[in-house]
Structure 1
Amino acid sequence: MNRATLIFFILGYYTLLNGQAAGPGQIDASSEQICDNIKRHISFLGSDSLEGRATGSEGIKIAADYIREQLKKSGIEPPSGHADYFQRIPMHSSAPKQESLLLLLCNGDTLKLNLNKDYLLNKTGSQTFIPAPVPMIFAGYGIHAPEYDYSDYQETDVSGKVVVFLDGEPESDNPEFFKGELNTIYSYLESKQRTAIARGAVGSIMILNPEQKNEKRWHTLKKEYSFTDINLAYHPMGHFSAILSPEMALRILEKSGLPVNEILKMVKSGNLVPQGINCRLSFRGQFRERDFIDQNVIGIITAESEKKDEYIAVTAHYDHLGIGPSVKGDSIYNGVMDNAIGTAALLELSKMFNKNRNKLKRSLIVIFFTGEEKGLLGSKYYNDFPVIPLYKTIANVNIDGMAAFDNFKSVAGIGAELSDLNDILRVTADKLNIGIQKIPAFFHEDEAYTRSDQISFANAGIPSILIMEGMDYINLTYEQGLKLWMYWNDDIYHSPFDDLNQYINFAAVEQHLIFLYNFINDIAAAEQEIGWKKGLFYENIRLRTKAEKR
């Protein structure tokens, strides 16, 4: 019996023993109806016929039409100016061709690097061109973090150069220094690239930390970068940004006079000194490019109350990765848990709230986002061009995945501690006899908050949250639950196996949906304005949008 089969057997057995959702909540629908409807939605959205719902694909258009029809059937109105429920978004896609030419001139030798074997392109398009060879410089982790009194750019001029930096950030067991064992925003490649360009660099290269085993990491990166790069059409394309394979990084560092053992010494001593690399770089990319229109799908549920002009945005992304590298003969990345199931949950919530809108204290705008997997494109576009003014939107509840292993005794609010939504979360949890947990450290809470569409609302000043189940399950020990999460994250997430064949405990899905229904109702009924915790920069954005009535 393989590992996946064993997990299926264990969970199925537990469900037979205890298959009822915890707590009835206040939903005017039977458990059987809710589960049947969600099964029906995910069976369609997660089917092979939609080919993984990639942004800009025929599959995502079919999914958008399906969502629109479900909103119509539920009697949910489109927003003003969008009679067909669609918010159309101009996008641009770019995929590098194998003929792209990356050359390194090192001590008289010319190295021609092969795309997808020796390097991956993080950014694509014409702005990545470096037609004449330019100098390269090693800049440690490529981080400038004044709040930690740390900079890899101290007295270092990178103007007109390509900056080479390590993956990750300085190791620390001190929570006051780069948050100890947790990752900060400075560990992200995008953050490092922005820092390099802001200091005058013409491009950047990331090398995987030679202190770590990188074979699996490189394999994962190759899979991620096999999908087409897509951007909002009005956003400028990025500068040259690449990731070197572990083998090519070792070869170049040796040739450049900066051997790996020297870097390892600097890493261990905590003293990564910027220094020149005896190589020059040029890049002439060739790309397959396309301009197209994709769409968010939006519905409005208008409350029958004095505060009907105030809105809660309830959101889920409906896109996934599409067709990608074949794994065990399967190349369709269906995205059932990520996020056909969240889309299904939002369709059911929308129906329930519309049926009971006479009880709602504030109105809802329900938004199904495209382009989340390509960098939160749909939610970024919406907050740049909101259908409901931002200052009238009091909160965002984002749904990205649903509980699916087992019924649970607690929830975790990702981003809850940043705003007054934390207080409302406690009210809802107490009412439903549910505890509140912090998410396990391996989820990296800051990362979790910034990796889905709730961060787009936060960046627009709107308090936002994503709710997931806690790790204390009804029928599973903490260790069993953790193993399932780790297995799903390592073997199922962003793979062809996030499909309709995986085990889903629909009693747990229902319990999660009941919690969301009650939580959103409690937000709508809040007497006080929902604000950010003092001192957060999100608070300043909120004050500005209110002052500008944007």
Structure 2
Amino acid sequence: MSRIPPLSAMATAMAAAFVLSACNKPAEAPVESTSAEPAAAQPDHTFDPAITAGDFAAHVQMLSSDAFAGRAPGSIGEEKTVAYLVDQFKRLGLQPGNGDSYLQTVPMVETTADPSTVLTVTVDGKPRELAYGTQMMVGTRSGKPQVQIDGSELVFVGYGVNAPELGWNDYAGIDVKGKTVVMFVNDPGFHTQDAGLFEGNRMTYYGRWTYKYEEAARQGAAAALIIHDTEGASYGWDVVENSWSGPQFDLPAADDPEPRLPAQGWITGDTARTLLGDLGHDLDDLYKAANTPGFKPIALDATLSLDLESTTTEKSSQNVLARLPGSERPDEAVIYMGHWDHLGDHGHEGEAAAGDDSIYNGAIDNATGIAGILEIAEAFVAQEPAPERSVLFLAVTLEESGLLGSKYYVAHPSVPLDKTVAVINLDAMPVIGPTRDMTVVGLGNSELEDVLKQVADGQGRVLHAEATPESGFYFRSDHFNFAKAGVPALYAKGGEELVDGGVDAGQAAHLDYRDNRYHKPADEFDPAWNMDGVVEDLQALYGVGEVLAGGEQWPNWYEGNAFRAARDGMMAPEPAAE
């Protein structure tokens, strides 16, 4: 810990002003009961008011323990997680963040596809059955227990992008109503490394699989299949299989303005290459064609049939919110947020098959982010003087299901969006040791980066963009829903240049996590982690909020940013009455 310089005089002020026992006083507002006992979720740990590695580790170890069963929404893992978070917010003396409640109920539909589902592609009158899991993954967001598609014509639509402002339309000249569209992941230009298309190697929202399904639904397709490749998706097929198997969650259609397909899914690259080859198309040639301006969709001489049976249940999950009221301007708030959910237990009734580990503990993703929020909350509680603006701590659900908890909050905010100063997102914090840099995902977006730079300068660290902008991480975490609505959002964490080992060691550590632990049962707490760096990251993110909550500035998106118009519109003064 000696290598972590103090951010300011904060720690001294904390020690002088804060009495730990005060944090143990119960909040005045009652807390909704759950079947999980909050007391059972309390770690046997005495918390310090400062941001420390020991406190951070205690939270992560608890939240990612097998007892929390992978924190799946709608499970016993959710009950224990929510109870733990409410208990911790009460311990800190924070007020409920949603009126008189610490909880915000998020309606959801749980859908589990039958893993015996077979997808049939008919070529030259010969049916080819694609196996669930090994060759394809498919599901429905329709909420219907049965989806039948019979003889739907296949159409290859390049990257499935309709971007009129860029003069690009992969659906030009063809009607795909009732048909099945097949497409690549990522943006035009990625696979050919053409820097002149879209934003070059940096993924835009058009490259995300969520957009591609939305656009296919707008076009009236019956189904959409994305051809997987590891580089384009930024993860292997095992991540697709793990993420799409088991219960899948959605907001009810009435609470989600985005269009939906009857069926959507992925096929492996090898499967696509074989099928397309049998149809007389070389996959590599299709990559070239799809990356050529003026590309026109290609009707494939094949049909798709599917009888998809699913179990569906209407349930609800919980966002968890707590508030530290501001001393001067309590109606204005800075939000710290992260998602508490993960992939749950894929074993039968909680038991692993053949001795395999079936629990997706989600230690990095995202017990680290939630632990970070709790540590930052404790620092704000101890801060003297108290922040002038309110600080809201928001732990959202259903991130792994498409950022649904944050989408619901943005549609039903407890702090009006025009009173929300900024959002600071914590997701998958690195625990690889101190770094000389900080990664700002989507660097170049907002004036929040100017505030972070001042703090990072004080730590002797530099800011840079993510190493793999083609991965589209800016669109893969909950801050994105706030950004789309116009609220300035910052997603930053430890970088790649390790103090001990340099860039090569840092990149190797990040790749090791991506390849061996991300969305796998191996994402477990490890007491050997070097948490000195994450403590420094949390101090930096706390410092950004300390500045914003203690002042009057309203950071905005940089000029030319796509989200600035929404922010300017919500902040515009009301016209004077005549």
Same fold (TM over 0.5): yes
Aligned position for 1:427: 454
Describe the superposition over 1:225-252 as per-residue Cα deviations: whole angstroms up to 9, x where unpaired.
Answer: 2242110123375332232234543443
Aligned position for 1:198: 218
- Give the AA of the match of 1:239: P
Aligned position for 1:320: 342
Kindly indicate whether the alpha-carbon contact (under 8 Å) linking 1:436 and 1:470 is maintained by their aligned counterparts in 2: no
Describe the superposition over 1:165-217 as per-residue Cα deviations: whole angstroms up to 9, x where unpaired.
Answer: 2334434545332322333322222222222332332222223469x899x83
TM-score, length-scaled by structure 2: 0.83
Aligned position for 1:298: 321
Aligned position for 2:131: 114
- Residue 394 of structure 1 aligns to a residue in which SS? strand
Which sections of structure 2, spanning at least 5 residues, go unmatched? 16-47
- 2:171 is aligned with 1:153: yes
- Give the AA of the match of 1:89: V
Which sections of structure 1, spanning at least 5 residues, go unmatched? 1-17
How does 1:87-102 map onto structure 2 within 5 Å? 87-100=104-117, 102=119
Distance of 2:291 and 2:336 partners within structure 1: 46
Q: Tell me how many residue pairs correspond in the alignment.
A: 527
> Which region of structure 1 is more displaced relative to structure 2, 199-208 or 260-269?
260-269
> Which region of structure 1 is more displaced relative to structure 2, 166-175 or 292-301?
166-175
- 2:48 is aligned with 1:22: no
Structure-2 change in CA distance of 1:484 and 1:102 (3 Å): closer
Residue number among 486, 491, 509 corresponding to 1:484 in the alignment: 509
- Give the AA of the match of 2:327: E
- Residue 313 of structure 2 aligns to a residue in which SS? strand
Distance of 1:514 and 1:155 partners within structure 2: 54
> Which region of structure 1 is more displaced relative to structure 2, 273-282 or 364-373?
273-282
Aligned position for 2:562: 537
Structure-2 change in CA distance of 1:32 and 1:520 (3 Å): closer
Structure (1/2) with the larger helix percentage = 1
Cα drift, residue 224 of structure 1: 2.5
- Give the AA of the match of 1:87: Q
> Which region of structure 1 is more displaced relative to structure 2, 459-468 or 242-251?
242-251
Describe the superposition over 1:468-504 as per-residue Cα deviations: whole angstroms up to 9, x where unpaired.
Answer: 1222332221111111111112112222222123632
Structure-2 change in CA distance of 1:237 and 1:57 (3 Å): farther
Kindly indicate whether the alpha-carbon contact (under 8 Å) linking 2:111 and 2:143 is maintained by their aligned counterparts in 1: no
Structure-2 change in CA distance of 1:534 and 1:478 (3 Å): same
How does 1:387-426 map onto structure 2 within 5 Å? 387-415=414-442, 417-426=444-453
Cα drift, residue 279 of structure 1: 1.8
Kindly indicate whether the alpha-carbon contact (under 8 Å) linking 1:125 and 1:285 is maintained by their aligned counterparts in 2: no
> Which region of structure 1 is more displaced relative to structure 2, 421-430 or 408-417?
408-417
Aligned position for 2:239: 220
How does 1:149-548 map onto structure 2 within 5 Å? 149-171=167-189, 172-208=192-228, 217-233=236-252, 234-235=255-256, 237-258=260-281, 260=283, 263=286, 266=289, 273-305=296-328, 307-324=329-346, 329-356=356-383, 358-415=385-442, 417-430=444-457, 432-444=458-470, 447-501=472-526, 503-546=528-571
Structure-2 change in CA distance of 1:502 and 1:177 (3 Å): farther
Distance of 1:268 and 1:426 partners within structure 2: 37
* Cα-Cα RMSD: 3.1
How does 1:7-156 map onto structure 2 within 5 Å? 20-25=3-8, 26-27=10-11, 28=14, 34-79=52-97, 81-83=99-101, 85-100=102-117, 102-125=119-142, 129-156=147-174
- Give the AA of the match of 2:418: Y
Kindly indicate whether the alpha-carbon contact (under 8 Å) linking 1:360 and 1:525 is maintained by their aligned counterparts in 2: yes
Cα drift, residue 64 of structure 1: 0.8
- Give the AA of the match of 1:530: P
TM-score, length-scaled by structure 1: 0.87
Describe the superposition over 1:55-98 as per-residue Cα deviations: whole angstroms up to 9, x where unpaired.
Answer: 22111210110110111111111135333x11111111111114
Structure-2 change in CA distance of 1:486 and 1:92 (3 Å): same
Distance of 1:151 and 1:237 partners within structure 2: 20
- Residue 545 of structure 2 aligns to a residue in which SS? helix
Structure-2 change in CA distance of 1:458 and 1:145 (3 Å): same
Structure-2 change in CA distance of 1:487 and 1:112 (3 Å): closer
- Give the AA of the match of 1:175: A
Kindly indicate whether the alpha-carbon contact (under 8 Å) linking 1:396 and 1:464 is maintained by their aligned counterparts in 2: yes
Distance of 2:78 and 2:391 partners within structure 1: 24
